[in-house]
Chains A and B, each alone.
Chain A
Amino acid sequence: MTDIQNGNGLAAAEKFYAQYGSRARELKASGKKVIGYLSALGPVEIMTAAGVLPIRLKGNVSEAVTKGDAYMETIVCPFVRNVFDAAVKGKYDFLDGMVLPHQCDSIDRTNETWSYTLNLPYWHFLNLPHVADDPSIAFTQEILRIFVRSLEKYTGNKITDEAIAKAVAAHNQNRKLMRDLYDLRKSNPPLISGVEMMKVCVAAMSLPVEESSALIESVIKEVKGRAPAAGDPAAKRIMIIGDQIDDIAVIEAIESTGAYLVMDDLSTGSKMYWQDVDATPDPLRGIAERYMRKLKIPTTFIGSAPTYQGILEERFGHMKNYVQDFKVDGVILFIYKYCDPYGFEVPAIKSYVEAAGAPVLYLEDEYSTSSLARIKTRIEAFLEMIA
């Protein structure tokens, strides 16, 4: 915490990144309840309002899945397997419970495997729908209400609408600060590197919202204040699109070639921070709308526009904006093997982004550094190609 106070935001981020969950352990020791969640669908506002610490679960790309295989099929998404394996190995032994949102088959079909094997005091499967039409928004509100009640039951405390509204404001503020930090990547060279940014994003998702905001503010101050790097005018500006990338390995593979990673469309990055929750009379309505309509993820079906081009804009328009706003020269589409939601979208994303003016490198990989050398060759060849 003192790192943040002393203006060493990057050092603090580094610490929370490298020792993931360390702050959660500290808070747990002081009596706070800690709830882990998967994916960008985890409604952090509700958990914050409940007075628990929400921590976004991640695995470890340098760790091979071993113990988890005794319980969970190897055809499951490699990211889900890795996080489960970490939990089985005790890396998350500070958790009081988990909430798994119904994002995809790999999560909802293994819900029992998780809950029965880990046997935590609190468990909730958040049954969010796959579509966002009006009946689904109303349904989502009810699902969120059920979640609120389950947290009330577990904590023994009432969660008022006021508390939720307050949490919504705090998380919106957190998002705004992160967007301000992202803005510093628009310059050439960006004021903060992709590697540094990944550490900040990962650190942020493990801290209570006020501490996360303080960390981001501290980082903004630090990077604005430091002497700008020389920069190579020929260096390519890259954006990475994917789901949960939460390690610097791939980022380093990109930036070690001299390119800059200036933007992302990742579920650990911009997807967490780009849309705010509207303040609504029933605060759960605003939350439902943000997570089901504003957040663009492959597991929420979007297709209401009257033309196909319109549908593509609805689904991927934000990627075009990123390419333009962050002056992106090339895009890396980094998808995990065994991922149906992203896998089925690859041809559409690739053709849309290429039409938006950025060449796309599609990489399919495991959630692991074991094939990093092969990935690096492809990234290098891509950068040589767009040079």
Chain B
Amino acid sequence: MAEEKKGRAVATSTAASIPKFVRGNLSATLKAKEEGKKVAAAFIADGQDEIMRAMDIVPAWGESFSGVCAAKRDAEKYLQKAESDNFSRSLCTYATCNIGFDMMREELGHAPEGAPWGGMARPDMMLGNGQLLCDPRFKWPQATQHYQQDVPVFVTNMYYPPWDPSGDHHEVEALYVKYAKEELHETVKFCEKITGKKMDWDRLAATVELSDKTWDLFIDTYELRKHHPTPMDTGDAMNTMVPLTFNLGTQEAYDFYVSLKAELEQKIKDGVGVANPEKYRVIWAAGLPSWFALGDFQYFNGKGVVFPVEVTYRGCEKVERLDLPKTNDPLEHIAWRWVRYWTHWYDAAKKRPGSTPKVERIIEYIEDYDCDGAVFHSAFSCRSWHAGIMQQAATLKKVYKDIPILIMEGDIVDISSYNEADTHNRIDAFIETLAAYKAKKG
């Protein structure tokens, strides 16, 4: 994802090691067979990481692959292949890019020529997830099975209590934790069946402990970005999220954040910021970025605008803040962590009439990171992350201060929706409103 035509320079040298992670994840799938490991097509932030890592199952991250294709501006042929069998262009382009690739690999018997970094291996299983996040997470593997009919698909249903301003989620927490735990158990049973191996529960417990530590380290590292000037912005975070998102439960992921934290601490000591001078600080409030246009962050930086904090791909919180009940059962721990993370901002929203948890999270970050404005990105093929952004922006305006808000429109993978000149124009106009707001703020 760091490698794209614009040659976006990352502000941190640690982030420069990310392509190795991404590439390593793809090639791990290609090497798995000879290493005697099973490959599972999987999707991020679904609570299944530790189970896979503890069983030496190699995840084939479709979302990473599509992101790479998009960043290299080489997704079109896969999208067209999917379209040729009647997958609509309006569907999630992460999915259709992968499905197109899988269709080609199936027809050819090997990865198609020119596949970024050799592509991904044919999986032995697909682990989907039906949660409150995203329908493609169970429709996509199901649709892929039409072209890989011998590859079994399992869908874990990881739910958390929905937001209800008139209810109390604490009353139903136990129900959701029980359900999540049972679903995780079913997931383990499925993985045992496919791998032919039993789960090593001690190893799972150790993996969960490591992922807890990684969560904590991640937050400790990112909170260094509160500093003025910020030592790292969202442009980098769209890279540095990779280990947490794709390699959770591994030592490499943990070690990455050790390096990143050290680098940020050094930058703070040396007074080095992303933009010099740093004129405005903005939160990336929601939305997946356009992977082919990460250079836009540099455009912002060039005008003195930095993003010290983002909601996207910050899929964790300090474990102590979640106040998790003690348990010896690693699956139960994952379940509690899952439910408490996703409901973490509910209490704050209850205290502020008219607010919603997503908005409370944005407000918390605006205050902690001293932001002057908010940017949302609405990707047309992704209802999961982008339906509801208008409501978030409107609620933020209503319950908080009148800070400048920009809603950008584009897509995650499909470049035909992107117009650079137009985007830069909108950014320029937004920066003018930031100037006006800051002047008023004093």
A interface with B by C-beta (< 8 Å): 71-73, 75-77, 102, 104-106, 108-113, 116-117, 123, 125, 127, 129-131, 133, 135-136, 138-139, 142, 146, 298-299, 301, 303, 308, 311, 335, 337-338, 340-341, 343-348, 350-351, 362, 364
Contacts and interface: CB of A to CB of B under 8 A. Distances in A.
B391 A71 contact: yes
B193 to A, nearest CB: 11
Interface of B: 85-88, 90-92, 95, 128, 130-132, 134-136, 138-140, 142-143, 145-146, 149-150, 153-157, 159, 161-164, 166, 172, 175, 179, 182-183, 186, 354, 356, 378, 380-384, 386-391, 394-395
A104 B155 contact: no
A77 B378 CA distance: 15
B378 A73 contact: yes
A347 B143 contact: yes
A17 to B, nearest CB: 30
Contacts of B140: 344
Given A340-B136, A347-B146, A110 B387 contact: yes
Contacts of A341: 135, 139
Given A104-B135, A146-B172, 13 more contacts: A72-B391, A73-B386, A76-B387, A106-B387, A109-B383, A125-B164, A127-B159, A136-B179, A301-B142, A343-B91, A344-B87, A344-B95, A362-B86
B162 A125 contact: yes
A75 B387 contact: yes
A346 B88 CA distance: 9
Nearest to B181: A135
A71 B390 contact: yes
Contacts of A71: 390-391, 394
A129 B179 CA distance: 10
Contacts of A125: 162, 164
Given A340-B91, A347-B146, A72 B390 contact: yes
A113 B391 contact: yes
Nearest to A333: B86
A301 B141 CA distance: 11
Contact of B130 (A131, A346, A351): A131
27 contacts: A71-B394, A73-B387, A73-B390, A75-B380, A102-B132, A102-B162, A105-B387, A109-B384, A111-B162, A112-B356, A112-B395, A113-B391, A116-B356, A123-B164, A129-B159, A139-B175, A298-B139, A301-B142, A303-B145, A303-B155, A308-B150, A340-B139, A341-B135, A347-B85, A347-B86, A348-B146, A350-B86
A133 B142 contact: no
Contacts of B86: 346-347, 350, 362
Contacts of A73: 378, 383, 386-390
